[in-house]
Structure 1
Amino acid sequence: MESFVELPNLPKGRLKSLIVGEGCPENLLSSLESLGVSVLLCPKNPRVDSRLSGHADLSVFHLGGKSFLLAKTLKNSAFAEKLLALGADLLFSETEQANIYPHDASLCALSMGGRVFHNKKLTDKEIFFKSPLFHDVRQGYAKCAVCPVSENAAISSDMGMIPVMKNCGIDVLELSSGGVCLTGFAEGFIGGAAFKLSRDVIAFTGSLSSLPDREKLLRFLEKQELRPVFLSGGELIDLGSFIPLTEET
């Protein structure tokens, strides 16, 4: 059987489908297909910076289960129709996005084990009101800044978010900055370059060879009983979040 991932970002069964931005390279799409993962491509968001327009986490927020909040630009889109055909319940944001940070970040909140982390000043009202365990942080790109690996463990280099997460009892691996590429920017975030394929498997968009803390990361994955999968042998690239959609149950 196949059902929507209940806890955002944290599939328990084997991932069957996910959402990623339409700028995802073909070699990564082929790797996902070989793993049995279907891909729903999220259209580019014309309201945000063109360098980030293909990042799905600026256009889609998973509220949990079959509920999703989409950017208003996706109203009446083929993408929204495909989600509806799968049985999703959709809400559409009323927030006006713009092509400069932080006015593009209203949907880029981190949902993790029932908690939501985001800059409260930026958060779309639907996310805030539907998140009883909301934690205010400075980061607007909260989802991209963190890769959740379980309900109580995560990976991040964001020194503003890490203390808040640790105060919530989350075991956070603190990565040094660098090693993740993002076209048009000095560097990217780990949350846009890694995601869960199942309870015990984590995928990376490329090799870890460029990460300053590669060995520390591998030890952390071993501690968390996670097996890494590498979708390419190239550089680790931030593509905006890969959003787990459905899983095998």
Structure 2
Amino acid sequence: MLEIPKLNLKDKVSPQEWQTRVDLAACYRLVAMHGWDDLIYTHISARIPESDFLLINAFGLAFDEITASNLVKIDIEGNIIDADCPFDINPAGFTIHSAVHQARHDEQCVLHLHTNETIAVASLKEGLLPLSQYAMFALASMSYHDYEGLAVNADEKKRIQDDLGNANFMLLRNHGGLTLGKTIGDAFMHMYDLTRACQVQLQIMATGMDKILVEQSIVDGIKAQANIVHTGLTGGQKSWPALVRRVYRQDPSFAS
């Protein structure tokens, strides 16, 4: 069995960077715990506060092998910052993330996954339908991007940015889902809502029965209602500590 290089960066980076590393590693583990990972593929990236640098997974590691220290620090062009870093990144996967980070400096985290449910709904002509409460959150800030093959063409970045606009949810046609958030917790909760919305939609469609669609006026008002529920905090801020505690209980090595 090939051994993963052991790193310990806790006392070698700023407190802001270390906290971002711990939260991002927790997010990778949560994705694996939910069964949303895709072997060594797909990515979650996060901007280090007060810097122009990003963190992303090392190419070749499974999501349940990600730790705070083995995340790779890169610039917006995908260049690895630390000269002694023993890992590489997947340049094809970074195309999508760099496009989003370049356009949306206000958002810290970008999460892109290939779950069966998001691929299936992204491949339906009508896309996500207002069929559940989970769908309300996504539809209040939804966008779509047409499939252009593997994301290796730099020209596609501009089209991704244009299609995303100010949305926090995106279904990439025939490909999967993408969410972003001002915190890592926000991005994760957005993906949770999007995935559950897609799961419920497919289950409803499988019944073959007539569907009841929620009125657009309710979709339009869902953000204001969510602010009341979360007392001014975002869903990610409210739930993130509990989610991180769950990861610690399962395997605290993520924070090393």
Tell me the TM-score normalised to structure 2 length. 0.30
Tell me the TM-score normalised to structure 1 length. 0.30
Which structure would you say has the larger Rg?
2
Q: As a proportion of its length, which structure holds more strand?
A: 1
Q: As a proportion of its length, which structure holds more helix?
A: 2
